[in-house]
Amino acid sequence: MEKFKALTTLSEDEQLFFDTVKDFAESEIAPFSAKMDADSKLDPSLSPKLFEMGLMGIEIPEKYLGSGSDFFMAILAIEAISMIDPAIGVVVDAQNTLVNNLVLNYGSDFLKSKYLPQLAAKKISSYALSEAVSGSDAFALTTRAEDKGDYWELTGNKLWITNGGDAELFVVFANANPAAGYKGITAFMVEKDSPGFSVGKKEDKLGIRASSTCELILDHCIVPNENMIGELGKGYKIAIETLNEGRIGIGAQMLGLAEGALNHGLRYIQERVQFGQKIGNFQGMQFQLADIATEVEAAKLMVYNAARLKMSGRNFIREAAMAKLYSSQIAEKTASLMVEFFGGYGFTKDYPVEKLYRDAKIGTIYEGTSNMQRLTIAKTLLKNL
């Protein structure tokens, strides 16, 4: 039967890549999704497959063992995977749009040569910015970096860190000069086995449970001088610019979730019979379907537009915020409606829409809450007056 398919134009290569990734997700991820969700754990067999497919180093140049592709392809991969399991979508998202891009854009030649091959071929990474007192106010972070001459010593705790339990490499933001406020913030590459580094509490989450979310503990953690990323005190700039790109990634994750939920609903309403006919034949169902499909298509256009703007080197900050804001709203709305389409079955864990409904909520919270996106949108609009 015909599945929902947005008509947004992709090139032949882009469409082939999207279809290939989606086929991979259906065959290699879908069979494990329910168990990973129940166990709150990434299946150990899955990580190597993600690397083998080249999905963890999409923009990393081939000389560093990456796929040598581009940002838009990374967005397509996140969308395609998230149609099947948004928890794995965010594993791929954090690796590509946050950590890999950060090292590519700001890392020294030494850091690129040392870490990009690892990121492309074998090691999951994590982006550690948030703390207990610095969520939306990210630059209020209290983790400190002290210059010890031959090395840096990092002290503090990070919270709600995506991939924290599975990662072996961590981009950690710490303040090297508290007197300078946010202008003291500096980024460092920290390895999991660094002295003084440990992973703390793993959060028991509502959704995207296969992606670990953990506390990181830096107890006088020793980091070599050469592991500073970018310039001293420029971490705030690195964080802002990286998160602007990351928001498009979350937009793609939420878009994929919405498409996946809609496809489940489409199949179900063409199978479920009530009052002697398929429930999809009722006009009331068809009108709801038409409205939500239109909104999903609009979200797709916004995500793709933001990604294309970024690819072309044009300003994309407002469009990224809009895409993240809108797609997260539509993901929640679509998943909720599909639970209703399934009726009582939708409220049980035997059917996938219940999981997608739980997975959707995080989209309005992480990588900038919806209100933070609204603030960004409003400021960019007023700035142009």
What does the block give as tokens for 173? 């933001």
Annotated catalytic residue 367: yes
User: How far apart are the C-alpha atoms of 182 and 376, rounded to whole Å?
Assistant: 19
Strand partners, 153: 146, 222
In terms of C-beta density within 10 A (0-12 exposed, 13-18 middle, 19 or more buried), how is residue 151 classed? middle
Q: 192 phi and psi, to 5 degrees? A: -60, -35
| Active-site choice (153, 245, 332, 367) | 367
> CA triplet 182, 226, 57: central angle to 5 degrees?
85
CB distance 316 to 247 below 8 Å:
no
Helix (H, G, I), strand (E, B) or coil at 150: coil
Largest CA distance in the chain: 79
Mark 59-73 as b/e (b = at least 16 C-beta within 10 Å).
bbeeebbbbbbebbb
User: How far apart are the C-alpha atoms of 54 and 119, rounded to whole Å?
Assistant: 10
What does the block give as tokens for 301? 């256009």
How far are the Cα atoms of 70, 89, 107, 250, 342 from residue 321, in angstroms, in the given order? Answer: 21, 19, 26, 10, 32
Which helix (H) or strand (E) segment holds residue 152: the answer is: strand 151-162
CB atoms inside a 10 Å sphere around CB 35: 11
User: How far apart are the C-alpha atoms of 300 and 286, rounded to whole Å?
Assistant: 21
CA 312, 316, 321, 326 torsion-angle sign: negative
Torsion, Cα of 45, 366, 320, 101 (10° steps): -50
CB distance 356 to 282 below 8 Å:
no
Which residues does the annotation mark as catalytic? 367
